Amino acid sequence: MGVRFTEKYQIVPAYSPIETTEAKESVFVALKNAQWVTFLLQTGALLTDSDDAILVTVVSATGNTTNANDTAIPFKYRLSSELGTDAWGAITAGTTAGVSLEATTDKQANRAMLIDVDPASIPALDSDALYVYLDLATTTITSGAISVAAFIEPRYPQNSNISSS
């Protein structure tokens, strides 16, 4: 008997839970064997002013480190309802400018954000891209806990999946 979820999907801790005031990048996810990539971003408590914000951008890259040629790409996302409930917001388009999660905007602290990336759409946006990652800009944040996990639907699911990093 197997574990269904982990045989159909690769689950990669992409950014460990941490309280931070610095901009961060998640780990880089290789696109080569990915049928689909979903990032799960979770935020903790944010303060109550508009300065406490996290700008979330999906970025494609040619290598597994950041460089000047990295390209911001559009994506789809859903924002969870408040902590302890199971409702999700509408599927929304995220642009290359990213999406800002702010403490003062609809109480966006203590939320989860599901971010979908279709690897098949990336070559038209960045023909050299081999990886995708989340850029988390926190230039004005006073305090905020964040974590990221990547759920990868592999082209060839199996018990021991091909590496995605």
The predicted-structure confidence for 113-140, as pLDDT tens digits, reads as follows 999 999 999 999 999 999 999 988 876 6
Going by C-alpha positions, the residue among 103, 99, 97, 126 that lies closest to residue 115 is 99
The three-state secondary structure class of 119 is helix
Residue 62 inside a domain? The answer is yes
Question: Is residue 1 within a helix (H) or strand (E), and if so which, with residue range?
Answer: none
The predicted-structure confidence for 29-73, as pLDDT tens digits, reads as follows 888 888 899 999 988 776 655 567 788 999 999 988 888 889 999
> Rounded to whole angstroms, how far apart are CA atoms 158 and 8?
7
pLDDT at 10: 82
pLDDT at 158: 60
Residues with Cβ within 8 Å of residue 4, at least 6 apart in sequence = none
Percent of residues in the chain assigned helix, strand, coil, to nearest 5 = 5, 45, 50
Residue 79 inside a domain? The answer is yes
CATH classification at residue 87: 2.60.120
The three-state secondary structure class of 93 is strand
Residue 107 inside a domain? The answer is yes
Residue 165 inside a domain? The answer is no
Residue 159 inside a domain? The answer is no
Question: Which of 71 and 10 is assigned the larger pLDDT?
Answer: 71
Residue 160 inside a domain? The answer is no
Residue 162 inside a domain? The answer is no
Total domains in the chain come to 1
What residues make up the domain containing 78? 7-154
Residue 74 inside a domain? The answer is yes
